[in-house]
Amino acid sequence: MYRLKVVTSFAAAHNLNNYQGECENLHGHNWRVEVVVKARELDKAGLCIDFKILKAETKELLATLDHKYLNELAQFRGLSPSSENISRFIFAELGKKLNDGNVTVEMITVWESDFACASYYEE
């Protein structure tokens, strides 16, 4: 197996629903996102997937979140836009674009600060 990782970021505001504390108030983060994909085999160029493709697909998806109030977006309607739910959303959406039988999104990690992150993966 081969594993690739790209790291990028976006900025957005949110508030946690049904949370008893300061984070229930509107606030923002400069979110750091780690995208990990895996592949069984390499292509003719010796790559799992071109980093340019992986970065471009990730950038396109994160543009839908960047500088937004996440609670107002359709993908989080009725769902608290926590780091956990953001990582699951990114996992699912990138999987639709990248999973091809060889390449699979393995894990998404979303950092809301330098000291706190949440990851989503499926077994």
The residues that are catalytic are 23, 67, 112
Phi, psi of 31 (to 5 degrees): -75, 135
- What's the rounded Cα separation, in Å, for the pair 114 and 28? 14
Residues 6 or more apart whose Cβ sits within 8 Å of residue 11: 28, 29, 30, 31, 66, 67
